[in-house]
Structure formats: structure tokens, C-alpha cells
Homo-oligomer: A and B are copies of this chain.
Amino acid sequence: MKTALDCIPCFLRQTLEAVRVVSPDPAVHEKILREVLRWTAEMNLNESPPAVAQRIHRRIRELTGVTDPYRAAKDHWNQTALRLLPDLEAMVKDAADPLAMAVRLAIAGNIIDLGVNGSVTEADLHRAIRQALDEPFTGELEAFRTAVARAGNILYLADNAGEIVFDRLLIQQLAPARITVAVRGAPILNDATRDDARAAGLDQLFPIIDNGSDAPGMILKECSAEFRQRFDSADLIVAKGQGNFETLNDEPRDIFFLFKAKCSVVARHVGVPVGTQVIQRTRGGQ
């Protein structure tokens, strides 16, 4: 997905939110904001939004010396989600269609996205869970069910810390023995890394790999050779979150994207209202 003009005000808001997480110094805030204004003035709009976010967050880390600014937020959300896990497991177990319930909850967990909204609260998460239960869900669920049953090996691309606890529920309903979970190779925003996979207990249940990259999405040409090989050889890719959608939706592969459409640009691209729970297959696969 290319960058829309509407992404640019959002990059700038995100820049301010992110730099304030790591530095109390207004001079640092102003310096990075002016830099991002200069970059975006000349930017190539064919770049995906996560490529721009990657550059912004690299520069913030470089300027402030803080290598993992969202570590505390990630710990908070992992713990919050783990506290909810027994209730979520019961919801899946008691559901008439456990897979459908697990899909809905995994999408609800995608609300924990500090790139789109730096001030997400637990109330927002509970609202997303209620929405997951109450709203009609019209995505390609049956195609997803069939594709999962047919696939020999599945690569599950995780998105954010906290959210991966919700993913754990879904993966257990899919085909746990045939699934590998991929996380980011280095800290970026509140995206899940190997540390979060461990904190959420996923490493005890499934093979974990990382993509070797610090982009908040999957910029394949920057990912490690090992990840690329796993990506290319997977029968089916399941990708969580807007960042993975924005970087992979034009790939000629069979990919199911599961996310909440949290911003107007992505919602318009998919053709749904903002806030919609989306399960969408790429045009690449059949």
C-alpha cells in the first residue's frame, strides 16, 4: 500500500507522541518534528506508511539513545492481556463456533496499536472485545477456515505486544502443530518481538521466528534471509494488524489479513467504515 496524503498529518502526530514517550525535552521534540516535516515534504509516496514510521522511530532512538522506548507499554499490555486470558479462553471454549470466536477476539486484540492511537486504554480494549461479540462479522471466515484446514504449514505474522496473547488463543484453534509465529526483529513502537512472545507464553507453544527487521510491518526486502525463506515456503500466511496489511497487501501470495480498520486511509482502502473488524484475503491468493 502506498502512503496517502492523509497519512502525513498522522505521521507528524505519531512523531510527537513517540518522542514525548522517551524525552521530556521540548527542544528534542521540535528538532525531530522539523526533521520529519522536511523528509515528508520530499518523500516518495510509493513508500508504504510503515517504511516512513520505521525511519521516524529510528531517528528518535538515535537522537535520544533510548533503544526500546515502548518497553514499559509493551510489558503493561502483555500483563493486561494475560490477566484477561482465562476469561477469553472460556469464551472460546463455550462458543458455538470456537474458531469464529477466536478470530473475533484476535481482531479485538488489534486495538492495542500505539502507532494509530498512543493513548489506547483498557476501556478501549474492553469495548473492542464487546464489539467482537456483538457486531455482525461478514469477512471471509469460511474461506479462512478452509484454507487453514488445507495448508501444510502456516506462517502467522504477529503484530503488537498484548495482542499476541489474543493471537495465542486463535493459533490454538487453528492448527498449532503446523504454525510458526513471526515477530519483529527489533523494537519498533509497541510491536511484538521475541521478548513479548516469551512474556505471552507463545514460545512454550509454537516455534517463534523473527523477521530481522525494525519496521512496523513486513518490508520483505529488508527482512532476514531466514525469514524470507520461511515466508516463501509457507502454504498460507496469516497476517495481523494494519502494518502487515499496509506492507503485504500487494504481494502475489495467499494471505489472510486480520485487523481492525483503525484509520480512515486503511478503512477506505478496504472499503469499510473506520472501526470495522476485517478478515480479508489478498487478491494474490485463491
Residues of A within 8 A of B (CB): 5-6, 8-10, 12-13, 16, 26, 29-30, 33-34, 37-38, 40-42, 45
B5 A33 Cβ-Cβ under 8 A = yes
Q: Which residues of the other chain, B, contact A40 by a CB distance below 8 angstroms? A: 37
Query: A34 vs B5: C-alpha distance in the bound complex, in angstroms?
Result: 10
Query: A29 vs B79: C-alpha distance in the bound complex, in angstroms?
Result: 44
A37 B8 Cβ-Cβ under 8 A = yes
Q: Copy number of this protein in the oligomer?
A: 2
Pick from B10, B33, B38: contact of A8, CB under 8 Å: B33
Pick from B8, B16, B29, B34: contact of A12, CB under 8 Å: B8
Query: A45 vs B33: C-alpha distance in the bound complex, in angstroms?
Result: 12
Q: Which residues of the other chain, B, contact A29 by a CB distance below 8 angstroms? A: 5
Pick from B13, B41, B45: contact of A9, CB under 8 Å: B13
B10 A16 Cβ-Cβ under 8 A = no
Q: Which residues of the other chain, B, contact A41 by a CB distance below 8 angstroms? A: 34, 37-38, 41
Query: A30 vs B7: C-alpha distance in the bound complex, in angstroms?
Result: 12
Decide: A9 near B16, CB < 8 A? Known: A41-B37, A41-B41: yes
A9 B12 Cβ-Cβ under 8 A = yes
Would you list 8 pairs from A and B whose C-beta atoms are within 8 A, ordered by A residue?
A5-B29, A5-B30, A5-B33, A6-B13, A8-B12, A9-B10, A34-B41, A37-B37
Q: Which 7 A-B pairs have the closest CB atoms?
A: A37-B41, A9-B12, A9-B13, A9-B9, A38-B41, A37-B37, A34-B41
Q: Which residues of the other chain, B, contact A5 by a CB distance below 8 angstroms? A: 16, 26, 29-30, 33
A sample of 8 more A-B contacts (CB under 8 A), given A5-B30, A9-B9, is A5-B26, A5-B29, A5-B33, A6-B13, A8-B37, A9-B12, A9-B16, A38-B41
Query: A40 vs B8: C-alpha distance in the bound complex, in angstroms?
Result: 13
Query: A37 vs B143: C-alpha distance in the bound complex, in angstroms?
Result: 44
Query: A36 vs B6: C-alpha distance in the bound complex, in angstroms?
Result: 14
User: Nearest-CB distance from A184 to chain B (Å)?
Assistant: 25
Query: A154 vs B9: C-alpha distance in the bound complex, in angstroms?
Result: 40
Query: A5 vs B45: C-alpha distance in the bound complex, in angstroms?
Result: 24
Query: A37 vs B33: C-alpha distance in the bound complex, in angstroms?
Result: 11
User: Nearest-CB distance from A260 to chain B (Å)?
Assistant: 22
Query: A13 vs B12: C-alpha distance in the bound complex, in angstroms?
Result: 10
Query: A38 vs B34: C-alpha distance in the bound complex, in angstroms?
Result: 9
Query: A149 vs B111: C-alpha distance in the bound complex, in angstroms?
Result: 54
Q: Which residues of the other chain, B, contact A34 by a CB distance below 8 angstroms? A: 41-42
Q: Closest residue to A41 on the B side, CB-wise?
A: B37
